Amino acid sequence: MKSNPNYFLQLIQKSKKGRLKIYLGMIAGVGKTYRMLQEAQELLKVGVDIKIGFIETHGRPETQALVAGIPSIPMKEVFYKGKILKEMDLDAILQIKPSIVIVDELAHTNIPGSKNLKRWEDVKALIDSGIHVITAFNVQHLESLNDKVKQISGIEVSERIPDTFLKKADEVVNIDLPAEDLIKRLKAGKIYQGRKIQQALDNFFREEKILQLRELALLQVAKSLEQKINFSLQEKPSVVERFMACISTNELLSKKVIRKTARLATNYQASWFVVYVKTPQESAEKINSRTQTKLLQNFKLANSLGAEVYIFESHTTTARVLPEGQNLFVQDSSRTFQSAEKKIPAVLFEAANRLQATNIVIGKPNQHIWRTLTGKNHFQGLVKLISPTDIDLIVVT
């Protein structure tokens, strides 16, 4: 899919704030970097002030050839663990302030000690300063798709980009290539060299996996386009959906619930939020530090995907809303309410009503855990409460 550089130029001319263009691919080697450099060459020809902030050619000759002639901002050298490493120089880009900068490998984790932990945070800083950015990444790096990608590939991708960042893009271009052509390129040594070729064929570069990743990438671009069209037409869905994700201290299941709810909210162009009910075993005096850390990380994950976090305090027989600022668990983005004393299912049901949830998303219940905590089956209690209503219950396995 070829984009029109003139469209991005028109966006730039209309805005004082930096604009963001993303080339999204299904997998390495489809040509994201190549297309960025092609566009840079086209923009140079019409006199646009464009520079390379960071590019990764992976030694591919046809990609390296396109770098020639494009001004590049030198990388900075960082001493780390006895080695001199090179990193994109954010401060230099901000000082030189080109009109447009090319930033490759968006999901990259910066060297410890850098101003920002992730490269996407560097890009955000550039946009906030008024610099326009053209960047690229593969769909498997998108945070809400982490579980799906692991299911497809058997690999958990560690470097991830929050969905909220993708939603800020002014233009998203899908770089597509048939699976057969991609595998031919790989075997011909045009993507990786040496032993990396067989490693790739044994992992991501299997036809069935490529096709599934391709579908994910196409869906993300389609959703982005649909949201832009609806926004420009000021159209709203006829039915306003609101999704409520219920999480606990079960780290892995809670992550699945959060990511699943984020995907659902994106599909329905809906708002969503997270509700956590704190039990006596999870009080500041009793909870262990590891569990507390993982819980806070899930709060942060929810925030990065665009959710608000609501925290309730519960006892085995009563529940009340946790007053803001009382506990470490309350984040700046959290909201609090006053609530009558109720059991856990009633708290979740009341939260759904107060926040006007149309759907409740909950992890598949482990009956042993539920009964160990309370001697009650809270899942069945919640089902009983919502059954007379129009609220739908979605169970994540």
124-140 pLDDT per residue, tens: 999 999 999 999 999 99
pLDDT in tens, 142-154: 999 999 999 998 8
What's the 3-state SS for 258-299?
A: HHHHHHHHHHCCCEEEEEEEECHHHCCCCCCHHHHHHHHHHH
Residues 27 and 73 in one domain: yes
By CB atoms closer than 10 A (0-12, 13-18, 19+), residue 272 is buried
pLDDT tens profile 93-105: 999 999 999 999 9
Q: Answer yes or no: do 169 and 216 share one domain.
A: yes
The answer, yes or no, to whether residue 374 has pLDDT greater than 70, is no
Rounded to whole angstroms, how far apart are CA atoms 283 and 383? 27
The three-point CA angle 59-64-66 to 5° equals 160
**Within this chain, do residues 110 and 208 fall inside the same structural domain, yes or no?**
yes
The first and second tokens of residue 346, run together, are 């009633």
Share of the chain above pLDDT 90, in %: 49
Q: Which CATH number goes with the domain that contains 162?
A: 3.40.50.300
Q: What is the CA radius of gyration of the chain?
A: 24
CB 40 within 8 A of CB 47: no
Q: Which of 30, 31, 52 is nearest to 41 (CA)?
A: 52
- Regarding whether 162 and 32 lie in a shared domain, the answer is yes
Give yes or no for residue 323 having a pLDDT over 50: no
Total-model pTM: 0.76
User: Using CA atoms, how far apart are residues 157 and 150, in angstroms rounded to an integer?
Assistant: 7
Contacts of 356 (CB under 8 A, 6+ apart): 242
Are 196 and 56 members of one domain?
Answer: yes
Q: Are 85 and 78 in contact (CB under 8 A)?
A: yes
199 and 90 share one domain: yes
Nearest to 255 by CA among 368, 144, 371, 112: 144
Q: Is 238 exposed, middle or buried (0-12, 13-18, 19+ CB in 10 A)?
A: exposed
Domain stop point among 187, 202, 233: 233
Q: Average the pLDDT over each of 112-121, 348-357, 370-379 and give the range with the smallest value.
A: 370-379
251 pLDDT above the threshold of 80: yes
Q: Give the residue from 142, 273, 282 showing the smallest Cα distance to 220.
A: 142
Domain count, the chain: 2
381 and 299 co-located in one domain: yes
- Three-state DSSP at 246 gives strand
* Phi, psi of 317, deg, nearest 5: -120, -15
Instruction: Note whether 344 and 390 are same-domain residues.
Output: yes
In tens, the pLDDT along 143-196 reads 999 999 999 988 889 999 998 899 889 999 999 888 999 999 999 988 988 888
Claim to verify: residue 171 and residue 258 sit in the same structural domain: no
- Same domain? 289 vs 181: no
Tell me the C-alpha distance between 148 and 224, whole Å: 19
Could you tell me if 138 and 248 lie in one domain?
no
The whole domain housing 338 covers: 242-396
Distance from C-alpha of 353 to C-alpha of 355, rounded to nearest angstrom: 5
CA–CA distance, 130 with 108 (Å, rounded to integer): 22
Alpha helix positions (H), 279-366: 289-304, 344-354
243 three-class SS: strand
Domain closes at, from 170, 200, 233: 233
Q: CA distances (Å), 93 to each of 71, 86, 99, 100, 386, in order?
A: 12, 15, 10, 10, 54
Q: How far apart are CA 99 and CA 200, in angstroms?
A: 37
Tell me which of 23-32, 42-51, 65-74, 340-349 is least confident: 340-349
Task: Based on the fold, state whether residues 89 and 229 are members of the same structural domain.
Answer: yes
**The CATH number of the domain where 291 resides is what?**
3.40.50.620
From 233, 259, 289, give the residue that closes a domain. Answer: 233
Question: Would you state the structure tokens that stand for residue 231, as one six-digit string?
Answer: 């926004």
